[in-house]
A and B are shown apart, each in its own frame.
Chain A
Amino acid sequence: MSPHVAARLRITLLVLAVSVVQTALGSDLRIMGVAPDLMVVVVICAGLTGGAEAGAWVGFWSGLLMDMFLSSTPVGLSALTYCLVGASIGALKSSVLQEHRGLLPVAGFVGTAVAVMLFVVVGDVLGQTQLLGAGRSWLIRVVVIESLWSMVLALSIGFVYTRAARGSVGTERFRAPANPAVPTR
């Protein structure tokens, strides 16, 4: 098995495992009624380590998986949101953001805040008005607490994701321009 295929398989298993943990344990971790979103942290890690394309792919499939567990929003809404967040984080990482120890927690915080707002705004535009039914105060609370959760969880999930993605095509592409020894196509 080639390293690329093995890495993809590991990432798939990680996404499946995170979805099971999220649905089984996520609600037990509520603070002020707000649960963390482990999957969005995985997507942010994918964007940071693999670039925009890897972020988009991982975001789309992990979002689609999470859509299967939601009952009040249409299939594809989380996929769309996560895909855009993963791609944006990846694009920013390769063009603007510099490698820094605090990058992952900060990206986790900002990426989650953007993901939550995007989910609600796009959902509202597509007719899912119940997403704003609990009021703006609830939305603000979710944005702040979920983002703080992501900030805390980012390092540990990032550690696991980096090992799972070792050898994947996206990771090489992202690292290629920084390393002159690796020929570009």
Chain B
Amino acid sequence: MAVYRRSFRTRNVLAILVLAALTLITIDARSNGHGVLTNIRSKVSDGFSPLQRATHAALAPIGNFLTGAVDYGSLRSENQHLRDQVAGLQAEAIRAASAEQAAQQVLKDAGLPFAGNVPGVTAQVIDNGSSNFDNSVTINKGRASGIAPGQPVLSAGGLVGSVVSASSHAATIRLIVDPSFVAGVALPGGNLGYAQGQGATHALKVTVIAQHTGGTGSSVQLPPPTLKVGDPVITSGLKYENFPAGIPVGQVTRAVVPPGASEPDITMTPLASLNNLDFVQILLWSPQTSSAAG
């Protein structure tokens, strides 16, 4: 009898907890990121961020050791590859300086904002994304430092993602590899398109929009782009875009025209290394401020 009562009670408890969870899911889904649960999430994030920061600092050597032990072979080859790249980039930097001047002049003439002119805030990553289905990281700065949802986030290599939520002293960044992430991009040859994340282990997919609007406002139909592997992809920064122009996003890894198709199938890998982010820069920019300025 006692066993039966216990089983009955367990079923009741389970039913109540399942209903509670389903209610929370419904409330959160209907609030669209502005409800009471978002505020609680924000408060919890603020409350845990000092603990996370301290734990991250204390356990980072252990994590680095384990990462190094697991990836020792690939790290050695990557090290050599990076040395070769640095040598190439030193020569490239000299050529790029003059090209950047010309590019900034074009953007200025077209009235488009350029990432290089936007002030930024540097923040440390305290949670590198511990879930396998959530491509996001948490940083140690939030609204108190001027950070707000929608702002672009960069690292040394280029675009990392955008701020998705911010509390007083912490913020969450959605990475560019997340399937829900989309950014307008400019391709070599004047074509425009958009890049979309395909998950942490997949390259980003680039879809070309063949219409190119020139600086004078005229619309020009360009031929499909002829891209090669290694071509750079940068943000387009068009009006109503989520990012200013000129932020390096990635490099083309595949560009082939499938049989019977008129547009190429393009994929690219992010320039920024997203695996172990330590410091990132948040651009204090939003499409609204850009429109107001323009």
Contact = CB atoms under 8 A, between A and B. Distances in A.
Contacts of B20: 60, 76, 79
Contacts of A146: 132
Contacts of A69: 45, 48, 127, 130-131, 138
B51 to A, nearest CB: 5
B3 A22 contact: no
Given A73-B134, A131-B133, A56 B10 contact: yes
A28 B198 contact: no
Q: Which 7 A-B pairs have the closest CB atoms?
A: A134-B199, A28-B63, A133-B179, A26-B130, A76-B24, A27-B128, A80-B21
A29 B63 contact: yes
A72 B17 contact: no
Considering residues A30, A56, A119, which has the most beta carbons from chain B within 10 angstroms of its beta carbon?
Answer: A30
B25 A20 contact: no
B74 to A, nearest CB: 11
A25 interface: yes
A55 B9 CA distance: 14
B13 A53 contact: yes
Dominant SS among interface residues on chain A: helix
Interface residues of B, number: 64
A135 B199 contact: yes
Given A23-B138, A71-B174, A74-B29, 12 more contacts: A23-B126, A24-B127, A28-B128, A33-B132, A53-B10, A57-B17, A72-B178, A75-B27, A75-B28, A80-B18, A134-B199, A185-B5
Contact of B67 (A20, A28, A76, A185): A28
Contacts of A22: 130
A71 B164 contact: yes
Interface of B is mostly: helix
Contacts of A184: 2-3
Contacts of B227: none
Interface of A: 19-31, 33-35, 37, 51-53, 56-57, 59-60, 63-77, 79-80, 83-84, 87, 91, 116, 119-120, 123, 126-127, 130-131, 133-135, 138, 141-142, 146, 173, 177, 184-185
25 contacts: A20-B51, A24-B56, A24-B126, A25-B62, A28-B62, A28-B128, A29-B66, A33-B132, A53-B6, A63-B21, A68-B44, A69-B48, A69-B131, A71-B134, A71-B136, A75-B37, A76-B25, A76-B28, A83-B17, A133-B199, A134-B200, A135-B202, A177-B3, A184-B3, A185-B5
Contact of B6 (A134, A135, A173): A173
